Structure 1
Amino acid sequence: MIEGWRWYGGYDRISLSEIAQTGAVSIVTALHEIPYGQIWPRETIAKTRAQLQGAGFAWTVVESLPVHEAIKRGEGNLTEFFANYRQSMANLAAEGIKVICYNFMPLLDWTRTDLTAPVARGGTCLRFSAAKMAAFELYMVQRPNAEEDYCEQVLAEAKRWFEAATQPDLDRLTQSIMAGLPGAYDRYDPNGLREALLPYEGLDRAALRQNHKRFLEEVVPAAEDLGLKLAVHPDDPPRDLLGLPRIVSDADDINWILSAVESPSNGLTLCSGSLGANPKNDVPAIAERFAGKVHFAHLRNVAKDPDGSFEEAAHLGGDTDMPALLGVLLREDARRRREGRADDEIVFRPDHGHELLTDADRGAHPGYPLIGRMRGLAELRGVIAGLTAAGAVTA
């Protein structure tokens, strides 16, 4: 497995020279400045690749090449959007990219309600509070019928929180929920989000699935021709949100997507944190089932609450058995080497670390601190070394 690191380019407060000191050798990045639906020019890709190579890094995984919202909605004439996506893929392949991570979450990306929840022995983490999300939907966005998506306990807690909240509390909640949107894209206030939801009215699970299938039918053949692997990222959190369906939340969803268009290029980003936030998911078992289609891995851990809330745990803490998961991925890597597919070695990256020590002073992208992720990478590296030394992986 190859140690990677997420980097936000010109938007990142962490430098490539600092990342080099973590030991990571492969940068995972994207052209965040290019609006959704536009072609990624080859010359811009080449410039980024040269910058990374000059700093001593490989760049083989893009995270993410965004899917335009019109494609997710299945709205209008999509010919240009699909053509642009295929051209961007071709330009990336021409510059040595092997894997494209993407997601099919409508409107929002990963979503949290708290960006600086306290950790027991110091530092902070990302947290998703079901009650705060309910308060946001019910009282701030005022989404019709939002109460149907939450249990009585969460609704009561949401009402108590909202009634006690100050304006700074409400502003902080909005900012937290918007923080998952990458790069320089516009964020919404509650009124703006209410308006942004209107084009999605009537989009149910079946329709979103069919729109995803159409996307795969349009781009997977091109990926095969280009020698690229597409890797869908699971929903985060793995539940419907804001009345919008999410369709990459468990093993059945993943199986449907990978079967919708049968191809070695139609694969999975194994995100242990996203999948781990769903109580019914056994993440090592999911990894075992779909190991041959795992093209990229995000390794992090979460601790879940009974009401649907969760927070980012230490990489070796939380509810997912990380050594068991790493064992699955290491065995899959070994199998690929035995089959002469060493170029398919899985790039993984430590995901969503705690803010520790001086991380809080840096102002890095939420969830992507330097010290917290370096700790996570070191822990994962140690488990990998231990499993390998114990003979748990056949090379």
Structure 2
Amino acid sequence: MQTHEMPRIGLVGSQGAYGRWLRCFFEDRMGLRVVGHDPHGDTALTERALIESVDVLIFCAPIHQTPSVIRHYVEQAAGAERGQLWLDITSIKAGPVAAMLTSQAEVVGLHPMSAAPKSATLRGRAMVVCEARLDRWRAWLERFLAATEADCVRANADQHDRVMALVQGMVHATHMAQGAVLRELAPTVGDLDGIRPFSSVGYELDVAVTRRILASNPVIYQDIQFENPYVAPMLERLAAHIDGLRDLVRQGDDVARERMRETLLTQSRSYVGEQAVAEGSYAFERLGYLLADLREPRYISVFLPLDRPGSLRALLSVFEQRGVNLDSIHSSRSAEGELLFRIGVSRECDAMALRDAIDAIAWQGIGRVVEAAGMATPS
């Protein structure tokens, strides 16, 4: 076996989204050798051979399959896993961690709080770390977590699942229900395109979350609802409050209005606290400004191939030299993972100067204009 400095990594579920991301992460960022097994196209190694050839084994299987997959690997290992580190990457922790603890490996459950990113690290994202049995692998695990650049939070498996009933289960449930209501009622008011001109910031944010859920693998959201034992009690509370609101609205008098304010607004505001309420309100306003920028029809998106100090300054100087005023600038990633700068352009700027700036970005080798909306197509 390898030392704890340069362990060999095994991925169970190597063809899934996180399996593919982890392979790139370990190989490119940590310089480690990675092998995998997956029924969908990665079967060069048998399960037993995979166990025998690695030092760290990571389970990236679908949520509802993960505990049974782990138990199967424990049977296949039959003690060969002694001295290894076993990890899992799932949204539910109690079942997978308990299954891994039936092995003789050291055990840690992980839950990155996002889908597999298009970026090289988990910077800006939380990751829950559930240490269950950890000794000799502690130093390497800390190096791995540091390399991910995730904001790590420690919890036991049961605490994690209780929290996820609120952070994931409740959020997903409300947005899936919103999607169903829109499907049923939007046709009576002109469908989604008819609603869009009337959008508020709150509606835009909710619709973005709903569409994100609908765009993703439905099995993930199914499993988060069905595999976490703490979700059903949460849904009962959520349904009770919705039913109560419905009954108060039907009642419709001043008593009902006062009761709604007290139970759903005043008491919750007191629980959250004035400072947190103020901070949340300000964050909402900032998101509103961001949405307004993103809805501006005149903008260009630019990819900067050279990620080094001065690249952005060179890009902005192109506009400055031609007197083109910029309304906003935001960075994001394309569907392919490229870092793009979305630059909102003043509607009053000179069209010829703007076209000249777009051309200069290319011929000066500063970057590549990916999109130019509300203006002439770049030459």
The verdict on a shared fold, with TM-score over 0.5 as the criterion, is no
Name whichever structure is richer in helix by fraction.
2
Which protein is bigger by CA-based radius of gyration?
Answer: 2
TM-score (norm 1): 0.26
TM-score (norm 2): 0.27
Q: Which has the higher contact order (CA 8 A, sep 6+)?
A: 1
